[in-house]
Every structure is written in C-alpha cells, then in structure tokens.
Amino acid sequence: MSFKSDLISGLSKKNKTIPSKYHYDLQGSKYFEKITKQKEYYPTQKEKEILIKVSKQIPKLFEGELSFIELGSGAIDKIKLLINKNVKYYVPLDISLDFVKKSVIKLKKKYPNIKIKPKKIDYSKPFKIPNFKKTTKVYFFLGSSIGNFHNREEILFLKKLRKSIGKNHYLFIGVDLIKNKKILDKAYNDKKGYTAKFSLNLITIINRIQKSKFNINNFYYNGFYNIKKKCIQGFLVSKISQNFKIGNKKFRLKQNEKILVEISNKFTIKSFKKLASSTGWSTQRIWQDNQKYYSLFLLKS
Ligand SMILES: C[S@@+](CC[C@H](N)C(=O)[O-])C[C@H]1O[C@@H](n2cnc3c(N)ncnc32)[C@H](O)[C@@H]1O
C-alpha cells in the first residue's frame, strides 16, 4: 500500500488512524532522537543500562566473527555499546535512510574495520535480509519498536521475521513493560514538547506529499496510557471542524475528532514470552534494568 492508500484507508475508518511508520521523514527522525534524550523518556535510558550489562556477555554468547543486523536502527546510538572486535559487518535497516546515513558517517570513522551497509526497508512489508556468509548473524530490534504495531500485527511480523531469517539465529528485542500510568504518561508528554512536535510533524509530511493544505495550528497532540488496552495511544486532535480531500476522496474531521497516530503496546515478561513462543521463537535470556521498567529478550529462531 502507498502512503496515499494507507491515508485513505485509515481516515475512512470510524476511529480514524494513520500508521506510525509515516512519522519518520528526516525531521521526524530528528524529533524522535530528541525524545530519546528527554529525562522523562525512560525507555532509552533503561535499554542502554541493560545493553551495557549485555555488552560484557556478548563475547561469551556468540563465537567467531559476527554480523550485526538492526531493524529500525534510527540514530544507531545503542549498537555502539555492543560493538567488539569480532563484529565484521553492521547493517542498519530503516525506513528513514537519509537520517541513518548521517549517523553512519560518524560510525564509519570510529570503526574503519567494520563494513557498514545501511539499507532502506519497510519491515511492515516483505523484505530481504542480507546474507553474510561465514559470520554469525545477530539481529536487533530495539527501542520497544515491537510495541508500535497496530491490531496485533506484531504477531505476523515476528512469524515472518523468523521464517525469513531461518533457523538457529538470534534476535535481541527491546520490550517496554507495563508500569504505573503516571510514569508512562510523563514519558509520552515530555516537558519540552518533542513528542507533540514529532506527532504534529505528520501533518507537515501529509501536506508535502499529498499537496494538502492542513494548518498545523488546527491540531494538537494528546497522548496517554490506556490501562485497559495496555498501550500508549497518541492522537492528533482537530481543534476545528474541517473538510479535506486525499486524492479525490472527501473527508470531514469534526471539532475534537481524534486521529490515532501512535501506539506503544506495553507487555509483562510473561506476556512477551508467550508472544515469542506463539510466533515460533524460543526465549534464551531476559535482562531487566534495576527498576524493572524495561526488558531485553534474546530470542532464537
Ligand atoms: C521507535 S524508533 C526506535 C529507534 C531506535 N531503534 C532506538 O532504539 O532508539 C523506530 C525506528 O524504526 C524505524 N521504522 C519505523 N517503522 C518502520 C518500518 N515500517 N520499516 C522500517 N523502519 C521503520 C523508524 O525510522 C525509527 O528509526
């Protein structure tokens, strides 16, 4: 599906929605990087705390030369914590390639002996995994991106990924945990307003790609933890009643009508273990930060 058809399909629903992958143009990726640096946004801090622990164990976990393959790498900040002398290849795969390429330049300078091969993919569609013979391939899916799938599509994603990478490979996956609503609400409503800017940037992207003329000031961001659904829901809310067109299709947004633009499902250790095994993965190891806010799973296909 194209951006236009995804927009038409999502905005035609009773509860309007737009897939979150469309947030990530260059500016969107920059805003996301800012979010990860905010004090309130614990997932990055906690995942890094865990990765520092894990980095000491990597040489014992995997023998021989390694290829690191990272899905949705973003600013490739976390992988740096894990690189050791056995890593021969690093492949960041992301929908926002221009952003990733900027970070790759710095990484190449720091690690001239590692072959770094960024590639643009959309992991919600079928994609090819690069094959580096004679190295042990280790996959990464960090930043709790597994929580961003709508309608339980993470089930299909994990099944397809296992099939395409084949048996006996390893995947590190960052999983954010259910916790006190106040902590979650704060994390997705940072004081400096980067989460709001990140969400509202979607309006700018729609205007640019669809040549529409939405006024960004006619929307505001509203994000909170929905205890019943066990997920963060981020909405763009229309301040006014407005008519608009995508292609030839006419739409109407009522005053205060919401468009769901971001979702972040939260798990328990038990519920994620169950999800992994129901999609054919076996859980090898689980790490948590000291406060048990966040977890990192090592899965085997
Ligand atoms: C939540 S951010 C996590 C970024 C980074 N891994 C981290 O831990 O901070 C999601 C990342 O996945 C990328 N992304 C989102 N949807 C994607 C898709 N469908 N296909 C490929 N990359 C995607 C975004 O560009 C972004 O870099």
Going residue by residue through the chain, which has 301 residues, state the pLDDT in tens, using 9 for 90 and above: 799 999 999 999 999 999 999 999 999 999 999 999 999 999 999 999 999 999 999 989 998 999 999 999 999 999 999 999 999 999 999 999 999 999 999 999 999 999 999 999 999 998 888 877 788 999 999 999 999 999 889 999 999 999 999 999 999 999 999 999 999 999 999 999 999 999 999 999 999 999 999 999 999 999 999 999 999 999 999 999 999 989 889 999 999 999 999 999 999 999 999 999 999 999 999 999 999 999 999 999 9
**What is the CA(125)–ligand 1 centre distance, in A?**
14
Report how far residue 15's alpha carbon sits from residue 10's, in angstroms, rounded to the nearest whole number. 8
Does the CB atom of residue 153 touch ligand 1 within 6 A?
Answer: no
Does the CB atom of residue 206 touch ligand 1 within 6 A?
Answer: no
Q: Measuring from atom 15 of ligand 1, which residue has the nearest CA?
A: 21
| 8 Å CB contact between 221 and 199 | yes
Q: Which two tokens stand for residue 257?
A: 């009508």
Q: Measuring from atom 11 of ligand 1, which residue has the nearest CA?
A: 72
Q: Measuring from atom 9 of ligand 1, which residue has the nearest CA?
A: 143
Does the CB atom of residue 22 touch ligand 1 within 6 A?
Answer: no
Report how far residue 105's alpha carbon sits from residue 56's, in angstroms, rounded to the nearest whole number. 26
Does the CB atom of residue 201 touch ligand 1 within 6 A?
Answer: no
- Helical pair 194-210 and 3-11, crossing angle rounded to 10 deg: 110
Q: Measuring from atom 18 of ligand 1, which residue has the nearest CA?
A: 122
Report how far residue 163's alpha carbon sits from residue 183's, in angstroms, rounded to the nearest whole number. 36
Q: Which two tokens stand for residue 109?
A: 């300078």
Q: What is the pLDDT of residue 130?
A: 80
In this structure, are strands 66-71 and 87-94 parallel, antiparallel, or unpaired? parallel
Pocket test for ligand 1, best of 25, 82, 96, 127 (most atoms within 8 A of CB): 96
Does the CB atom of residue 72 touch ligand 1 within 6 A?
Answer: yes
In Å, how far are 34, 160, 170, 173, 199 from 301, measured between CA atoms?
34, 11, 6, 13, 34
| 8 Å CB contact between 42 and 183 | yes
Q: What is the pLDDT of residue 277?
A: 98
Q: What is the pLDDT of residue 101?
A: 95
Report how far residue 154's alpha carbon sits from residue 276's, in angstroms, rounded to the nearest whole number. 10
Does the CB atom of residue 36 touch ligand 1 within 6 A?
Answer: yes
Q: What are phi and psi of 165, to 5 degrees?
A: -90, -10
In Å, how far are 20, 245, 256 from 213, measured between CA atoms?
21, 10, 19
Q: Measuring from atom 8 of ligand 1, which residue has the nearest CA?
A: 143
| 8 Å CB contact between 159 and 292 | no
Report how far residue 164's alpha carbon sits from residue 219's, in angstroms, rounded to the nearest whole number. 40
Q: HSE (CB half, 13 Å, CA atoms) of 261?
A: 28
Does the CB atom of residue 123 touch ligand 1 within 6 A?
Answer: yes
User: In the block, which residue shows the tokens 């990860």?
Assistant: 36
Residues 6 or more apart from 102 whose CB is under 8 A from it?
none
User: All domains of the chain, ordered by start, with CATH?
Assistant: 3-37+181-265 (no CATH), 42-179+267-300 (3.40.50.150)
Report how far residue 99's alpha carbon sits from residue 157's, in angstroms, rounded to the nearest whole number. 24
Q: What are phi and psi of 65, to 5 degrees?
A: -80, 145
Q: Measuring from atom 7 of ligand 1, which residue has the nearest CA?
A: 143
